């Protein structure tokens, strides 16, 4: 595998030439989100017949991966994902993508301490700027650690990506071995579902906990974004943002002047995030906007960094919670759905923040095989992964109310969670709780 001479300028080569460097058994890295390569991916898939056991790390694939589509039986390529998108989930269900457990904010350290050097890193970037840097766009994450670990670095440049500011958000030409021209298609968008009535009911309860000057972390999904919509209608002012994912809801709050960051202790005046996925309008808001700062994920997600801002409000979804408060947010039994992401780290960072609150939200029910089922349960579905332990959960919210589990006994927790379950399931849950001695007889609070 050729390695260019460090003092020579990085040459521009074809995607086919770049793909020819790949050998059987290699570890490749496609990066995450907006940084995943498309032209290289297609070229590599075309050469797949001569390769075996090529392993590719990726995260949040926003477009189909040619290496998976053209190799449905896994004869040549294997995908390993740090966090599933809808596409990654489908590949997982087909046996073509495997999940890597993590706390998202720790991933740079994994590359530096625990993973063997990447054979080839291929990252989509903005074209080189006047200072010789290829901007990672709105996906800083762990890409610096990938570059530092890689034996070879290839950038696929695209004019379709937003250029965003942030600490070390790019790779210098001196660190790049080869450049390939991308297809310049616009950055992939993530549709924002319209909030349901349940989303809005939950959001109203959460919004009532947010005061002037609070610092927000907004997770992905309809409920957290519904909170942003309600805050647009409220009188709350001077909000700050220190989050993992930049969402459309945050961008809309910023455009109306509700987000100023003026009361933040860490990075005052800045909307701090590590990656963005959303609409083209949101990308346009962040593009070359000095108020937005895309930092590395160990900066945004580490609890000791999160807690440096006062009154951090962390808002995240879960899919199931048991009567002791264990939140399972990433799987349906052994079927993996998404990932731990930054949920646990933000739960801990928000709690440690002066005046902070971590909030886990969920609808009280869901439908399976045409039947309504409770998301609040005696026992988690067998195989379900606990994303946030019972010892860490603070506020839990459904459309029927909000409870705080901190400092509560198992009996108090069970009673509190039953009180916000759907009314049709409360009697059954209470009976189960007594049968399994989660609720003690004769005790009142």
Return the active site residues.
Answer: 244
Task: Name the β-bridge partners of 312.
Answer: 215
83-111 as b/e: b if 16+ CB within 10 A? bbbebbbebbeeebbebeebbbbbbbebb
User: Tokens for 141?
Assistant: 């994450």
- For residues 179 and 153, the answer to whether their CB atoms sit within 8 Å is no
43-70 as b/e: b if 16+ CB within 10 A? bbbeebeebeebebbbbbbbeebbbbeb
Could you give the dihedral angle defined by the CA atoms of residues 50, 56, 62 and 65, in that order, rounded to the nearest 10 degrees? 10
How many C-beta atoms lie closer than 10 Å to residue 168's C-beta? 15
Among residues 128, 248, 112, the alpha carbon closest in space to that of 193 is found at 248
Beta strands in 4-46 (DSSP E): 27-32
- For residues 61 and 88, the answer to whether their CB atoms sit within 8 Å is yes
């Amino acid at each position: 595998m050729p390695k260019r001479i460090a003092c020579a300028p990085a040459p521009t080569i074809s995607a086919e030439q770049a793909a020819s460097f790949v050998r059987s058994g290699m570890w490749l890295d496609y990066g995450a989100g907006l940084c995943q390569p498309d032209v290289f991916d297609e070229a590599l898939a075309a050469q797949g017949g001569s390769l075996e056991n090529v392993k590719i790390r990726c995260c949040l694939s926003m477009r189909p991966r040619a290496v998976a589509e053209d190799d449905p039986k896994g004869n040549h390529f294997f995908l390993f994902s740090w966090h599933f998108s809808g596409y990654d989930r489908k590949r997982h269900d087909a046996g073509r993508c495997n999940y890597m457990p993590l706390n998202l904010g720790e991933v740079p350290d994994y590359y530096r301490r625990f993973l063997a050097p990447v054979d080839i890193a291929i990252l989509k970037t903005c074209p080189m700027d006047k200072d010789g840097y290829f901007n990672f766009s709105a996906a800083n994450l762990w890409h610096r650690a990938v570059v530092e670990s890689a034996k070879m670095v290839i950038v696929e440049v695209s004019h379709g990506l937003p250029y965003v500011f942030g600490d070390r958000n790019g790779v210098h030409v001196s660190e790049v071995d080869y450049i390939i021209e991308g297809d310049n298609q616009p950055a992939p968008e993530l549709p924002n579902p319209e909030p349901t009535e349940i989303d809005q009911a939950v959001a109203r309860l959460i919004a009532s906990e947010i005061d002037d000057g609070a610092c927000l972390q907004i997770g992905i999904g309809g409920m957290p974004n519904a909170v942003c919509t309600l805050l647009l209608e409220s009188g709350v002012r001077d909000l700050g943002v220190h989050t993992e994912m930049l969402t459309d809801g945050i961008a809309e709050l910023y455009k109306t002047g509700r987000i100023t960051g003026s009361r933040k202790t860490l990075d005052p005046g800045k909307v701090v995030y590590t990656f963005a996925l959303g609409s083209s309008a949101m990308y346009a808001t962040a593009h070359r906007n000095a108020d937005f700062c895309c930092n590395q994920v160990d900066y945004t997600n580490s609890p000791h960094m999160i807690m440096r801002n006062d009154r951090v409000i962390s808002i995240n979804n879960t899919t199931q919670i048991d009567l002791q408060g264990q939140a399972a947010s990433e799987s349906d039994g052994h079927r993996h759905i998404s990932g731990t992401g930054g949920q646990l780290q933000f739960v801990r960072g928000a709690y440690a923040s002066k005046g902070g609150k971590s909030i886990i939200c969920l609808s009280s029910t869901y439908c399976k095989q045409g039947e309504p089922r409770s998301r609040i349960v005696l026992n988690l579905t067998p195989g379900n992964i606990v994303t946030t332990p019972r010892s860490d959960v603070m506020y839990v919210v459904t459309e029927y109310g909000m409870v705080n589990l901190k400092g509560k006994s198992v009996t108090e927790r069970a009673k509190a969670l039953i009180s916000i379950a759907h009314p049709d399931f409360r009697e059954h849950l209470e009976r189960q709780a007594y049968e399994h001695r989660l609720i003690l007889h004769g005790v009142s609070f």
